[in-house]
Amino acid sequence: MVSSMFETAKKAVEEHGGNKAAAARALGMPRTTLRDLLEREGRETARGYQIRGPRGRKYLALPEGRSQILIGSDFHYWPGRASTAHRAFVSFAEKLKPFAIIANGDVLDFGGISQHPPIGWEQTPTVEEELYVAQARLGQIFEASPDSQFYWPLGNHDARFERRLAMVAPEFRNIHGIHLKDHFPDWEPCWTLFLTASDRDIAVITHRGRGGIHATHNNAVNSGLTTITGHLHSAKVTPFTDYNGTRYGVDTGCMADIYHEAFQGYIEDGFRNWRSAFCLLTIEDGHLFQPELIMVVEEGVVEFRGELHQV
């Protein structure tokens, strides 16, 4: 039987136009409590967000009219000064107040619990240090636009947290704190996030897809949808057109500085065809405009739509 608490939560979400943050405030409960309540009942109605299809897949229904979505990937947060891309991301979130903000994987690095052996005697932050800085940085993003919807498709580096615990302490699987999402309650976890409008899927956001230099092209061809990924740090937009129209393969680039210390060991300070950037999607009544990249030019400067922005 559907609980009365679920009905109350569902009604509050509907009364607030699908805005879970506003519904949670009206009910006097944290947004994570509202989310967990709805998920435990086996379905979710907020803004068309549904549990359907494979486990780990989530859907976000876009509103009528114009909406924007800000997407960053490969943050690899370490203690120290925040990257130019991070500072710009916070700035754009504050200015645009986008409908949704997506942290598209590898928010954390977790080099200290990697399956790969350490390189020499290199020092990496502890798990505690990484969690602390990621909570602080994601908190800045949340505070810049608290009424946005927040999603986090898991990255391969993020997965190291639960994989390590599952390997060494499987008996703790249902204890609070054992899952990464327990430490970031404002962000909806998933593997893939599908954007829907007018009852059709128009794009999918996931941390990684195909590999190689033609990854964005192959992602658009093989998925059948505009596909936004990270992982390769390449920052590019590739159109693909067939009888169904034009769709895009997007690599949002790297939110970390491309020569950050987190990469120096396994890249061996080598050259890399990477770019520090993030992505802005604009959708109007189901039409997705060509995705736009905000690119880091140098320390403290990004370029967007023919202008330089200081951050």
Query: Does residue 100 have a pLDDT over 70?
Result: yes
Is the pLDDT at 49 greater than 60, yes or no? Answer: no
**Which are the contacts of 249, defined by CB distance < 8 A and separation ≥ 6?**
215, 216, 217, 218, 219, 220, 221, 226, 227, 229, 237, 238, 240
Q: pLDDT tens digit string along 116-138?
A: 766 767 788 999 999 999 999 99
Per-residue pLDDT tens digits for 214-272: 999 999 999 999 999 999 999 999 999 999 999 999 999 999 999 998 888 778 888 89
Residues 169-176: what's their mean pLDDT? 86
Mean predicted confidence (pLDDT) in 273-302 = 97
Instruction: With a cut of 60, say whether residue 199 has pLDDT above it.
Output: yes
Closest CA to 48 of 37, 40, 59: 59
Q: What would the two tokens of residue 99 be?
A: 């409908």
| pLDDT tier at 10, thresholds 50, 70, 90 | confident
Q: Is pLDDT at 299 greater than 60 in this prediction?
A: yes
Q: How many other β-carbons are positioned within 10 Å of the β-carbon of residue 24?
A: 21
Give the predicted TM-score (pTM) of the model.
0.85
Mean of pLDDT over the chain: 88
